[in-house]
Amino acid sequence: MKQEVTVDGLKININIEESGSGDTTLLMVHGIPTNARLWRHVQAQLPQYRTLAMDMVGYGQSDMPLDKFKHSFMNQAEAVKGVIEGLGLKGKVILVAHDHGGGVAQVFATKYCDYISRLILINPVCFDQWPVCEVEALAGLDGAPDEVLMQALPQAVAGFPALMRMGSYDGAPFTDKNCKQNYLQFWGRGPDITGFKSLIRISADPQNSDTDVDHSKITCPTMVMWGVADNFMSCSAAEKLKERITGPTRVQYIERAGHWVQEDRPDEVAKYINDFVTEWDGVNL
């Protein structure tokens, strides 16, 4: 389904992949360079909840406004706010976010903590671990003419599976077929390279200051989940987040999982999400 949001006066259609049903709703936010489909295996194992996996602005099947939209954490957080308001979920939704989306979720929770009942951060970008070198490398193509991007696209597509396998525990989930069907298809083909250009634009906008947030303003129950074999960002940041977040916070490590824990160990991710949700059921804070 689509949900229209407005950020800085710009109307944007956000794509949302819905699964499951129940009284509890989880809004799932992906990171870079993925999309809502990163959550598909986790959603399949949580049928008792209504799960909504959204494509952030510029990703997947959401609108890609390119230069009309500054892809800051704050603007992406405003888009999340628009989705929650548009669906009538203010104060009734659990925000679950990964990687770049985890950084957006931290910004969101410091400003709009009353919009969510709980927060789950999974291998989130935070502190001085952002932007990572892979994002900075892609940002180097920003502003290049379309002819150059057309030449760069085949190489980027060919290298994508290797990048994803590098962030995985053993690389097994990231077959060429998986990468193509669930991620690369949104980069665009032939003369239409809007998806690729959007990913470059997203990579060029991040600033180190994006992760400079006041975690003490996050007062809701929070879980920080981390695949310990993360080759992109150290899991040592999990305890640091726990120390700084005001709300009751637990850390859950997942062994034999890399950065893409939803692909490496979707069953464990779903289990720990369910454990955390049921732990706080009926608790009024």
Could you state, in chain order, the average pLDDT of each consecutive group of 10 residues for the chain (285 residues)? 96 98 98 98 98 98 92 95 98 98 97 98 93 86 92 92 97 97 82 87 80 95 98 95 98 98 99 94 62
Q: Which class for 246: exposed (0-12), middle (13-18), buried (19 or more C-beta within 10 A)?
A: middle
- Rounded Cα distance, 243 and 216, in Å: 9
In this prediction, residue 285 carries a pLDDT of 54
Q: Where are the domains of the chain?
A: 2-131+207-279
In this prediction, residue 78 carries a pLDDT of 98
In this prediction, residue 124 carries a pLDDT of 97
In this structure, the number of other CB atoms found within 10 A of the CB of residue 3 comes to 19
In this prediction, residue 49 carries a pLDDT of 98
Fold of 2-131+207-279: Rossmann fold (3.40.50)
In this prediction, residue 208 carries a pLDDT of 61
Cβ contact 98:27 at 8 Å? no
In this prediction, residue 284 carries a pLDDT of 60
In this prediction, residue 121 carries a pLDDT of 99
Cβ contact 66:198 at 8 Å? yes
In this prediction, residue 283 carries a pLDDT of 61
In this prediction, residue 172 carries a pLDDT of 97
pTM summary value: 0.96
In this prediction, residue 91 carries a pLDDT of 97
Q: Which two tokens stand for residue 227?
A: 């695949």
In this prediction, residue 129 carries a pLDDT of 84
